[in-house]
């Protein structure tokens, strides 16, 4: 399992809170793909890590 720093997780979460459109109707893979494409998220992030980040961002 890859390691994401706490700061990186916080940055991703903050970005997702600003971008409600990414959270609205897309799957975890689609959100991860878009985050990787804009350079916010490393490509080696796992689905479980993304699920945790999305859960926090949706609160």
| Residue 28 lies inside a defined structural domain of this protein | yes
Q: How many domains does the chain have?
A: 1
Q: pLDDT tens-digit profile of 28-58? A: 888 999 999 999 888 888 888 899 998 998 8
Residue with tokens 């971008």: 19
| Residue 1 lies inside a defined structural domain of this protein | no
C-beta separation of 47 from 7 below 8 A? no
**Overall residue count recorded for the chain in this entry:** 59
Q: pLDDT tens-digit profile of 16-33? A: 999 888 877 678 888 999
Considering all CA atoms of the chain, what is the largest pairwise distance in Å, rounded to the nearest integer? 28
Domain that holds residue 38: 6-57
Provide the pLDDT confidence category of residue 14 given band limits of 50, 70 and 90. very high
Q: How far apart are alpha carbons 16 and 23 in whole angstroms?
A: 7
Pinpoint the alpha helices (H) of 1-59: 6-18, 20-24, 28-37, 47-57
Predicted model pTM: 0.80
């Amino acid at each position: 399992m890859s390691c994401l720093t706490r700061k990186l997780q916080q940055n991703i979460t903050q970005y997702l809170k600003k971008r409600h459109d990414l959270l609205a109707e897309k799957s975890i893979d689609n959100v991860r793909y878009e985050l990787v494409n804009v350079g916010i998220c490393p490509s080696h992030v796992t689905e479980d890590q993304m699920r945790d980040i999305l859960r926090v961002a949706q609160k």
